[in-house]
Chains A and B, each alone.
Chain A
Amino acid sequence: MNPARKRTVRLVVALSAAVLLASALIYTSFSAASPALTPSQLLHVAQPGRSYIVTGTVAAGSVHRAGSVLTFDVRDRAGATAVPVAYTGTVPDPFREGREIVVTVEKHGSSYVGERNSLITKCPSKYKTAPAGENQNA
């Protein structure tokens, strides 16, 4: 096989391998992904056994700790629908009522169990750009 032919063969093999791996990657990302939902969406679509990512605000007065389990309600950012979550695992420092959080949950009966160590609390809103001239009070 002359060198030019060898090079073409190598190129074809390499490209095919790349395409195959990329396809595997893309396919698994869609099947392994957890959709990000608001609490009201979660109530509509949640099925037992599948995990979902829910984002919302921690409802005021809903945070309770019993042993190693933290229970709280996740509310829609703009709305009243709330979903109860029972969570075990690391609780980030910024976590408190009124903060925006992201947590992965699975439906168990009528309640939702938070996946271990999946709780993320977004940094507080004071990092958002303020329109010029407005008085800043977090």
Chain B
Amino acid sequence: MAVVIVICSLLLAALVVMLISAPLRAASRPGSAAPAGEDGARAPDTASAERRAELEAAREAKYREIRDAELDYRTGKLTSTDYGVLDAQLRSEALTILDEIEALGGAVPEG
């Protein structure tokens, strides 16, 4: 019985070591240049990719604000004057974000 337990423990330990060391082995293999996916080495434009993600999140939040403001107006919480002012302000803020995304380069995807 004890032998079975020892063998099982060793097998489990081996499995764990293999699982954990896979990224290290992949990185040290010669010629492994920036594999894609979760183990990818830092891409040269990671900083800008992360800025892009940040801007996209801000853009979604701004779109939501615009729609919320419209819903507020249609359910009677905002007068039409207030809504007009707020709406224009939010749209210009949205365009600033869209411009920044475009400036980061590449086509702006729909969505």
- Do A and B touch each other in the complex, judged by CB within 8 A? no
Footprint of A on B, CB under 8 Å? none
Residues of A within 8 A of B (CB): none
